[in-house]
Amino acid sequence: MTKVLNKNQHLLGAFDPSVFELIESDISADILLVCEHAGQAVPIKLNGLGVSLEIFNQHIGYDIGAAKLTRKIAAQLNVPAILQNYSRLVIDCNRPTNQSDSIPEMSDHTLISGNLNISDEDRQSRIDEIFTPFHDKISQLLDQNHYKLIIAIHSFTPQMNGNKRPWDVGFLFRQDQKTSRSFMQYLSANHPDLNIGENQPYNIENNSDWFVPIHGEQRRIAHSLIEVRNDHLLNESGINKWAEIISKAIQHFLSEPLNELNP
Ligand SMILES: [Zn+2]
């Protein structure tokens, strides 16, 4: 059973991992990469959320392959990246915290017993100790640097609720159409074999998203949320291939003179 925290107790202790990993680049970079669903960690005090360990190796636990892909792109482009270390089942760091699935009781037909009927204090401690410091760090990086482009890297499961998702990659956006469309045009010209989804496998909405509305649209920084189907990211060669595809699409975007301006 999940323990209930007293008001004065911290959720994270000395043996829990830090909330995020920051990969810094050795030059001043034009781009920041963000990976909200990188990690699989669960705070020790939450006792594994009452589900079996293997759940955290599945797509509901984290974005399979996304952290490795993000690190690879960061290395290829020599740009900074911030990766969030806790499982999306602890708290979803790309979703407003006032939504019921911010801390999901059910995820793709799996009951997350450690998230059932949690107290307001327990909910608030996950927000205060994981969600907020992660996004505060992103805001600080965006305040201190003049990035031309911010990219969120995610992966999606090939099948959800019985529906097949045929796209190899999806570019998700709302107000900033230019950035994602540039990536999509580059990919269709250079990789005609790929099934490219526009706003697939889902649409950006204020009540289901954080990166695009808050870090991208509010600040008017060029941005895109990239979703790669996770069966492409199961081994090193797949990750290398997709890191190269995405890195080249980013380089192409930055080489177009008009794109030096914010949208
Ligand atoms: Zn994700």
How far away, in angstroms, is 90 Cα from ligand 1 center?
14
pLDDT number for residue 26: 75
Q: How far is the CA of 36 from the centre of ligand 1 (A)?
A: 7
pLDDT in tens, 20-65: 999 998 778 999 999 999 999 999 999 999 999 999 999 999 999 9
Bridge partners, 22 (sequence order): 82
Sheet holding 169-172, edge to edge: 20-23, 81-84, 31-35, 149-156, 222-229, 169-172, 196-198
| Least trusted range by pLDDT, from 4-18, 130-144, 153-167, 185-199 | 4-18
Q: Where are the beta strands (DSSP E) in the chain?
A: 20-23, 31-35, 81-84, 106-107, 110-111, 149-156, 159-160, 163-164, 169-172, 196-198, 222-229
pLDDT tens for 104-160 read 999 989 999 999 999 999 999 999 999 999 999 999 999 999 999 999 999 999 998
Residue 239 tokens read as 């990750």
pTM, two decimal places: 0.94
Report the alpha-carbon distance of residue 206 to residue 113 in Å, rounded: 27
pLDDT band at 262 (very low <50, low <70, confident <90, very high): very low
The confidence score (pLDDT) of residue 6 equals 57
DSSP letter at 4 equals P
Q: State yes or no: pLDDT of 189 exceeds 80.
A: yes
What is the Å distance from ligand 1's center to 61 Cα?
10
Query: What's the mean per-residue pLDDT of the chain?
Result: 94
Ligand 1 centroid, distance to 63 Cα (angstroms): 5
Q: Give residue 5's pLDDT.
A: 55
Which of the following CATH numbers is that of domain 20-257: 3.30.300.30, 2.40.50.100, 3.40.630.40, 3.90.1150.10?
3.40.630.40
Token pair listed for 179: 């950035």
57, 102 contact by CB (below 8 A):
no
